[in-house]
Chain A
C-alpha cells in the first residue's frame, strides 16, 4: 500500500498542477475576452472568406469559406514539405556518401557544401533565393526558352501542361507494373531462401516499369500532347505566359532553400550512419565472398539505416515546421493564408492560432509515426 501511494502521489500532484495552470490561463483569457467584447467560437469557419489566394491545389476563390482557405493553406504546406523532403533526402544521401569518398575533390566539396549551408540562418537563405536570385531572372519577354518549352522568368517557371487521352489506361498500367514487381520480389525471396538461387529483381523491375506503360501507349490507345506556354502582352513592357502550368517563384525559392538547408543535416546523418557500422562487418562480408555491391546492399546499409532513420526523422519534422517561414516570401502556406490573412480578417486570434498549432502537431506526429513504423521494420528482428 505504501509503495503504491509513493507512486501515485507525485503523479497526482503533477496532474493537478497542469490542470490548474491550464485552468488559470483559460479562465484569464475568458475574462479578458469578455471585458474586451471579443466572442469566442469557430462559427467563422463557414463564413465567406472574401480574399483570394495566389496559388492553390484545390479550386478556391474569395467566395469560398474560411475552412476552404484553411485547406488551401494546409495543402500548400504539405506540397512544399513533401517536395522538400524528397529533394533533401536524395541530395542528403548523395552528399553524405560523397563526404566519405576517397576522392579529395568530391570529399572536400561535399564538406564545404555542408558547412556552408547549415551555418547560415534559414530565413536569410530563403530571402537570398527569393530576392537576390529573383532579381537575376529575366522578365517574361526576355526569357530564353529552355529545351524550347520551359521558361524561367521573374514571374515564375512556366512548363508545358500534359494533355492526356485515356489517362486511366496509363494509370492502371503503372499500378499493374507495381503489383507485378511486388509479386516478383516475394517470389525471388522465396527462391533464394529455398534454393539459394538469385533472380535479378532490379533489372526485371526497371524493365516492367518502363515496358507496361509503353505498351499502354502502343496498344492501349493512350495519347499525350503538350500545351506549351505562349507569351502574352498585358501592357507595353508587361508580359506573362499563358497556357501550360506556371510554378510561382515563391514555391521554387522556398523548396530550394528548404531542401538545400535540410540536406546538409541529412548528409551528416547518412555519414554518421555509414561510419557507425563497424569496419569488421565490411571485412567479414568481403571474406565470405560477397561483391562490394552486395556488401553495401546486404551488410552495410541495413545496419547504417538503423542509425540514420531516427535523426533523419527529426530533419523531416524540422523541414515541415520550417516551411512556415513561407510567410516572409508570399508563398501561401498555412501560416500566411490562415494564421495570417484569415486571422486578420476575422480577428479570431485564439481560435485560429490554436487550429494552426494543432494542425502542425498532427502533421509532425503523422511523419513521426510513419518514420517510427519504418524504423521498427528495419530494426534487428530476432528470428
Chain B
C-alpha cells in the first residue's frame, strides 16, 4: 500500500511540474530546499541561544553575529534581502535534530566540524567561518595562570552535548588530573553557576569564553588561560542530500571571505563593477555567469557583499568592535598571516 502511495505522490508531483511550466533552472528543480525557501520567502536558520559576537539577539529581537551573517548572506543571495531570515535559537542538544528533521535549513551555530558529525548523522559541513580551540577560564584571584597549575579535585563547568565535554576528558586524563565535570544544558546556566563559584574553571571554545566573559557580573575578575587544548573549526552545517543547497551556503560564505581578500566592501561593491581585475568583476556579477550554476541570478554575490559586507567587515562589526576578540589570530586572511583561504570563485 505504501509503495503505491509513494508512486502516487511522485505522479502527482510530476503532473504538477508538467503543468506549471516553470522557468526555474535545473538546479532549482533539483534543490528542494532552495525551492521551499523561495516559496516561503525566508531562510530558516538555526542559531545559538545567545552567544555575543556569533549569534545574539538584542532587546528588540534583532539578531547579530558572524554566524547570523552567514544566514543573512544566504538570504541575500537566494531571496535578494538579507533580512528575510527566520532565526531559531537552539541548544547544543537540539541543534542537529532540528536540522535533520527539517525544522531549519541552515545550522549556523558555532558548531565544530568533526568526522563523526559529518559522516554519521546525516549532516554536511560546508566550510569554516571561525577557527577556534578549547580553552579554560578561571578567576584572576585564584592565582592560576596556566593549566599546568590545575590540581586534583578541580570542578569544571561546561555545556552538555558538545565536543567540549569529550576534549575536557581527554585533557584531564592526559594530565592525570581527577576532575568534577558539571555539565548544563544551556550556556546561560553554565555562566551563572561558574559566576556563583560552583566551579573553579569554565571550559568551552575560546571565542565562547571571550564572549561569555562579557556576561559575567564582573568581567575583569576572570581570565582566559593561554593554552588551547583542541582544534575547533566552527562552521555552518546543512542537511545531507541536497548538494545544490550545500553549494549555495558554501559559496555564500566563500564570497564573503574572498571579497575581503580582493578589498571589496559593502561601500565600494558597486564601483568595483568597473574594476580591471576579472576576479573582482566575477565577484560583483559584472563578468561570467556564476549564479546560474545554483539557479540564481548573476547579482547574488553582489547582494551578499552590499547587504552583509565581506568577512572582515562582519568580524569587525560583531567580534572586534564589541571587544570580544579584537585580535583576529588564525581568522585573518592567508595573505595576512592567518589561515582563512577559500577556493576561487570562477
Judge if A234 is at the interface, Cβ distance under 8 Å.
yes
**A37, B240: Cβ atoms closer than 8 Å:** yes
Q: Is the CB of A340 within 8 A of B161?
A: yes
Say yes or no for A250: interface residue by CB 8 A criterion. yes
Which stretch, B52-60, B148-156, B282-290, touches the partner chain A? B148-156
Distance in Å: Cβ of B83 to nearest Cβ of chain A: 30
Which of A45-53, A110-118, A361-369 contacts the other chain? A45-53
A119 within 8 A of partner (CB) = no
Asked if B4 is at the interface (CB within 8 A of a chain A CB), the reply is no
Judge whether B196 and A154 touch: CB under 8 Å: yes
Collect the chain A residues with CB atoms within 8 Å of residue B153's CB: 232, 234, 240, 242
- 0/1 string, A73-89, CB within 8 A of B gives 1: 00000000000000000
* 9-residue interface stretch from A131-139, A170-178, A308-316: A131-139
Count of A-B contacts judged by CB separation below 8 Å: 135
Query: Is A92 interfacial (CB-CB < 8 Å)?
Result: no
CB distance from B19 to the nearest CB of A (A): 26
CB-CB under 8 A from B260, the residues of chain A are none
B270 CB-CB contact with A under 8 Å: no
Number of interface residues of A (CB under 8 A): 46
B142 touching A330, Cβ below 8 Å: no
List B residues 322-346 near A (Cβ within 8 Å).
Answer: none
Given A155-B198, A332-B183, the answer on whether A38 and B143 have CB atoms closer than 8 Å is: no
With both chains docked as a complex, state the minimum distance between the C-beta of B339 and any C-beta of chain A, in angstroms: 27
Contact A33:B182 (CB < 8 A) given known A237-B141, A237-B142, A344-B96: no
Instruction: Tell me how far the C-beta of A97 lies from the nearest C-beta in chain B, rounded to whole angstroms.
Output: 38
The interface bits of chain A over 288-329 (1 if a CB of B lies within 8 angstroms of the residue's CB, else 0) are: 000000000000000000000000000000000000000111
A-side contacts of B100, CB under 8 Å: 36, 38, 349
A345 at the B interface (CB under 8 A): yes
**Measured CA separation A135–B149 after assembly (Å):** 26
Q: Which residues of chain B have C-beta atoms less than 8 A from A155's C-beta?
A: 155, 197-198
Q: Bound complex: CA of A186 vs CA of B239, how far in Å?
A: 69
Stretch of B35-43, B69-77, B115-123, B203-211 with 4 or more beta carbons under 8 angstroms from chain A: B115-123
- Please tell me if B180 contacts chain A, counting CB pairs below 8 Å: yes
A194 CB within 8 Å of chain B: no
Q: Are A139 and B240 in contact (CB under 8 A)?
A: no
Task: Judge whether A52 and B122 touch: CB under 8 Å.
Answer: no
**Residues from chain B with Cβ under 8 Å of A27 in the complex:** 2
In the complex the two chains form, is A52's CB within 8 Å of B169's CB?
yes
Contact B192 A131 (CB under 8 A): yes
Q: How far is the CB of A252 from chain B (nearest CB, A)?
A: 12
Contacts of A205 in B (CB 8 A): none
A134 and B196 CA atoms in complex are apart in Å by 7
The reply to whether A38 and B122 contact each other, CB–CB distance below 8 Å, is: yes
Query: What chain B residues lie within 8 Å of A52 (beta carbons)?
Result: 165, 168-169, 179, 181
- CB pair A330–B169 under 8 Å, yes or no, is no
Instruction: Report A143 CB to chain B, min CB distance, Å.
Output: 12
Which residues of B sit under 8 angstroms from A273, Cβ to Cβ?
none
Asked if A50 and B184 make an inter-chain contact with CB atoms under 8 angstroms apart, the answer reads no
Q: Which of B144-184 contact A (CB under 8 A)?
A: 144, 149-151, 153-155, 157, 160-162, 165-166, 168-169, 173, 179-184
Structural contact, B122 and A37, CB atoms closer than 8 A: yes
Closest B residue to A35 using CB positions: B241
Q: Is the CB of B161 within 8 A of A344?
A: yes
With A and B bound together, what is the CA distance between A50 and B157 in angstroms? Answer: 17
- 13 extra interchain contacts, Cβ-Cβ under 8 A, other than A155-B197, A237-B142, A340-B183? A37-B240, A51-B166, A52-B181, A54-B180, A54-B181, A135-B196, A238-B200, A250-B182, A328-B189, A344-B161, A344-B162, A347-B116, A349-B96
Identify the A interface with B (CB < 8 A): 23-24, 27, 33, 35-39, 50-54, 62, 131, 134-135, 139, 154-155, 232, 234-238, 240, 242, 248-250, 327-330, 332, 336, 340-341, 343-347, 349
Residues in chain B within 8 A of chain A (CB atoms)? 2, 92-93, 96-97, 100, 116-117, 120-122, 138-139, 141-144, 149-151, 153-155, 157, 160-162, 165-166, 168-169, 173, 179-186, 189, 192-193, 196-198, 200, 239-241
